[in-house]
Amino acid sequence: MSQTIFEKLQLKNEKNLLIQGLPSSIEKQFTKLSFAKNLTPLLRSRKIEFALIFSVSEYQLNCILQDIMPALKEESKLWIAYPKATSKIVTDLNRESSWNKLFSAGYENIEQVSLDHVWDAAQFKKLEAVEMEVEETEVKVLPKRKAVKV
């Protein structure tokens, strides 16, 4: 069974949604969803729980991120959608080397998904949030050790 875009992006019950640069080829799949298309003063005062940014250049992405990053919660879901290398869209974004602004702000790329035949998306999380998730899932109880005299 094929996953929907919402399943791929792990969109569940988040309330404050921002979807920026949504291409018309995918727009139909988002019609039943209530989301903001721009970072307005109202959104700046609230915290974004889910952001999906469509971008075709690193410069464009960095300009958008400059406005969005202060409004993200530590546990926010941040997805960056970019054209696949096989698409006919001219882009300088790719999955390996386009994320310097995010990395320098403490974000880590944790997942990649294919949205459709044109767009891929990369999910980013704050490094502290990723480390907390790992600690919660990998807690091990170690046996007590006896002290040994040397």
Is 21 a domain residue?
yes
| Other beta carbons less than 10 A from residue 32's beta carbon | 7
First to last CA, the chain: 62
Tens digit of pLDDT for each residue in 30-76? 877 777 666 665 456 678 888 999 999 999 999 999 988 888 888 89
Is 149 a domain residue?
no
Is 101 a domain residue?
yes
* CA distances from residue 5 to 2, 26, 58, 114 in whole angstroms, order as listed: 10, 9, 23, 9
When divided into structural domains, the chain yields a total of 1
Domain of residue 78: give its range: 5-137
pLDDT > 70: percent of the chain: 77
Is 121 a domain residue?
yes
Is 94 a domain residue?
yes
Is 142 a domain residue?
no
Round to whole Å and give the CA distance between 101 and 106. Answer: 9
Is 89 a domain residue?
yes
CATH number of the domain within which 113 lies: 3.40.50.150
Round to whole Å and give the CA distance between 105 and 48. Answer: 17
Is 145 a domain residue?
no
Q: What is the pTM of this model?
A: 0.79
